[in-house]
Structure 1
Amino acid sequence: MRHTIEFDHENKWVLTRFRGPLLIDEAVALLKTSVSFPEWSPAWDRIIDYSDGLLGDLDVEAVQRGKVALGEVLSAAYGGKPTLSAQVCADPIKLPLIKYWIGLGDGDYPAGLKLFDSIAEAQAWILASRAAR
């Protein structure tokens, strides 16, 4: 699969990088895969990087369907535990769809769901948010 999952054991977050065309079914499958790894824990936060992803095949209906499917996986995996979800994308062409995605899911992340231009900014936000708890 061209998309990747990276576990950072020291910082306890999962970094998912989308590369190439992104389909909702692939995003759901990737999340299911990440929560099935032995090193995964519901205490881990998530960073999702769309920088190299191609979102041209996604439409509003696919995004809405994805929210439902991903929500079911997240609910089962995290059991309602509040975690942070950092979305990364600096591409102005992709931003409207990513912002729409965040708007759909914002209420599902009481701990936080935010958009960043870089992975480093996302990592800093997660660390600062944890320190403030």
Structure 2
Amino acid sequence: MLACAQRVSDCCAVKHTIDLDRENQWAVIRYQGEVAIEDALEVMRRLVAMPGWTPHCDRIVVYDDGLLGGITAEDFRRVRNDLVAFIAEHYGDTPNYSAQVCGNATQKPLVEYWVNFGRDAYAPGLKLFDTVTAAKAWLRRKRAGETDET
């Protein structure tokens, strides 16, 4: 497996890692610590600048160790359009999916709220999973043209 990892902690309030799997064309993004709404766009900027990234690259975002409690609905509304525009600019018409992962029972209700809040703004595909393994299986099914069972 060809992978490219980038650890970011010096420029952003949030610590996160981005592991880009070139072979499978997905990036696993893991948030750690307090997450600000602006971090989502910053992570996307870093991802598209990574060697090996292409518009076919899907995202698996893991929140198990991220703290989202400081993000408000107004914060999300403020940044949502910028995220959608950024994704449209860099991904174009290429179908791409965003699998959100949270197996942390304390964090999951908040992540589920944000996923549901953003689902309408992100047409290609956005879904919540308990594990990275389940998220990868969903991405494989989506790429194979299968429809969701839910």
Output the CA distance in 2 between the equivalents of 1:39 and 1:29: 18
What is the TM-score when the length of structure 2 is the normalising length?
0.79
User: Within 5 Å, which residues of 2 pair with 1:49-64?
Assistant: 49-64=62-77
User: Within 5 Å, which residues of 2 pair with 1:117-128?
Assistant: 117-128=130-141
Encode CA deviations 1:46-82: one digit per residue, 9 max, x unaligned.
1010111011211111122232221121111111322
Amino acid paired to 1:117:
D
Structure 2 equivalent of residue 35 of structure 1: 48
Output the CA distance in 1 between the equivalents of 2:118 and 2:93: 14
Structure number with higher relative contact order (C-alpha < 8 Å, ≥ 6 residues apart):
1
Give ranges in structure 1 of 5+ residues lacking alignment. Answer: none
Are 2:97 and 2:126, in contact at CA under 8 Å, matched by a contact in 1? yes
Structure 2 equivalent of residue 130 of structure 1: 143
Q: 1:17 Cα deviation (Å)?
A: 0.7
User: Within 5 Å, which residues of 2 pair with 1:54-93?
Assistant: 54-93=67-106
By percentage of residues, which structure has more helix? 1
What is the TM-score when the length of structure 1 is the normalising length?
0.89
User: Residues 82, 105 of structure 1: CA spacing in aligned structure 2 closer, same or farther, 3 A cutoff?
Assistant: farther
Q: 1:123 Cα deviation (Å)?
A: 0.7
Encode CA deviations 1:18-45: one digit per residue, 9 max, x unaligned.
1111011122111111011231100111
Give ranges in structure 2 of 5+ residues lacking alignment. Answer: 1-8, 10-14
Larger radius of gyration: 2
User: Residues 77, 64 of structure 1: CA spacing in aligned structure 2 closer, same or farther, 3 A cutoff?
Assistant: same
Residue identity over aligned pairs, in percent, reads 39
Structure 1 position 104 matched with structure 2 position 117:
yes
Instruction: Spell out structure 1 runs of 4+ moving beyond 6 A.
Output: none
**Corresponding residue SS for 1:7:** strand
**Corresponding residue SS for 1:52:** strand
Are 2:35 and 2:67, in contact at CA under 8 Å, matched by a contact in 1? yes
Instruction: Give the root-mean-square deviation of aligned CA atoms.
Output: 1.7
